[in-house]
Amino acid sequence: MIRLDHLSKLYSGRAVVEDVSLTVETGQIAALVGTSGSGKTTLLRMINRLVEPTKGRVWIGDTDAAKIEPHLLRRRIGYAIQGHGLFPHRTVGENIAIVPRLLGWREAEISARIDELMQLFDLDPAVYRDRLPHALSGGQQQRVGVARALAARPELLLMDEPFGALDPVIRAKAQDDLRAIQRQLGTTLVIVTHDMEEAIQLGDRIAVMDKGRLLQFAPPSEILTAPATPFVEALVGAAERPFRLLSLSTVDALREPGEAPGTPINPDTSLREALALCLWEGRAALPVSGGGIVTLAALQARAEGASR
């Protein structure tokens, strides 16, 4: 669990972050969203004290972050950034080993951890372990960056626009993988993004920030259906709202008994994709593999956020 307690950061009297309090439960993902200059990155960097708070406290579990030496605190917290920041003069394996080495792990343990993480991130250790980062593709570099952040099994992982430099296709895959790995490891994750789509995709809770203030901290469905201020509403995008709402659940949730022609769709398909398929193929219902159907009417009803 991580708790931000009335955090503020002032630069020469001007507040960049103003009185932000929020709690992220263990194993949850919190997405910090806002326009540039909203203070979201400063807020994130106060958690591992890359920026020292002017006022307020950060609690990581029962520990007051201000009571630990900054470099020791940072070794306990994973940190992944846009443009990955891999050390260009160190191999992939050495990059992943950085924090475990700082923490004084035994070499055999480090080596096993490198292989384990590389397999987890779909990089064959035999091929990539001894390569320098520049010999990897952008997507691979980004995965190494996240693997490196997770190397010392941190209880908390901070990410600052980690997928910002990736093209859309690789980006979507990276988000899915991150979500799956985060669920598997149970790591608490705070991720900064300017992309509401990404926040909805990843976040268990979304914190919307503007001009240094926290406007709303709520689950994605609530951000979509009950935006706290006009700014939040604008950020969500009125035109996108129904589709984003649908993207939060899978076909499984709307499955009902019945029969429909055509190739069955996977129950893990998002409702948004199911709607797109109905519209594209001009059909009123789609069969779901494993039995049952999902109807256009049900999808439509689910997308009506205003009536809730």
Q: Residues interacting with other proteins, by CB under 8 A?
A: 48, 50, 71-76, 79, 81-90, 98-99, 102, 132-135, 145, 148-149, 158
> What distance in Å separates the CA atoms of residue 148 and residue 97, rounded to the nearest whole number?
7
Contacts of 51 (CB under 8 A, 6+ apart): 9, 42, 45
Task: Choose between 14 and 134: whose C-beta lies nearer to other proteins.
Answer: 134
Based on its alpha-carbon atoms, the radius of gyration of the chain, rounded to whole angstroms, reads 21
**CB nearer to other proteins: pick between 178 and 299:** 178
Helix (H, G, I), strand (E, B) or coil at 174: helix
Ramachandran region, residue 206 (left: φ > 0; alpha: ψ -120 to 50; beta: rest): beta
CA proximity to 168, closest of 197, 191, 190, 189? 197
Which CB atom, from 133 or from 227, has the smaller least distance to other proteins?
Answer: 133
User: Least Å distance between CB 159 and other proteins?
Assistant: 11
- Give the nearer residue to other proteins in terms of CB position, either 107 or 304: 107
Tell me how far, at minimum, the Cβ of 223 lies from other proteins, in Å.
28
Q: How far is the CB of 271 from other proteins (least distance, A)?
A: 37
Q: Which is nearer to other proteins, 148 or 205 (CB)?
A: 148
Q: Are 303 and 242 in contact (CB under 8 A)?
A: yes
Residue number, 149 or 215, with CB nearest to other proteins: 149
Smallest gap from Cβ 74 to other proteins, in A, equals: 4
Distance CA(256)–CA(243), nearest Å, equals 21
Query: Please, what is the minimum distance in Å from the beta carbon of residue 175 to other proteins?
Result: 20
The residues that bridge with 272 in the sheet, in sequence order, are: none
Cα separation, 104 vs 211, whole angstroms: 41
Quote the least distance from Cβ 126 to other proteins, whole Å: 20
> Using CA atoms, how far apart are residues 38 and 41, in angstroms rounded to an integer?
8
Question: For residue 186, with 0-12 CB atoms within 10 Å meaning exposed, 13-18 middle and 19 or more buried, which class applies?
Answer: exposed
How would DSSP label each residue in 114-159?
A: HHHHHHHTT--HHHHTTS-GGGS-HHHHHHHHHHHHHTT--SEEEE
Q: How many CB atoms lie within 10 A of CB 51?
A: 17
**Do β-strands 55-60 and 2-11 pair in parallel, antiparallel, or remain unpaired?**
antiparallel
Residue number, 24 or 158, with CB nearest to other proteins: 158
Least separation in angstroms between residue 60's CB and other proteins is 14
Cβ nearer to other proteins, comparing 88 with 261: 88
Smallest gap from Cβ 80 to other proteins, in A, equals 8
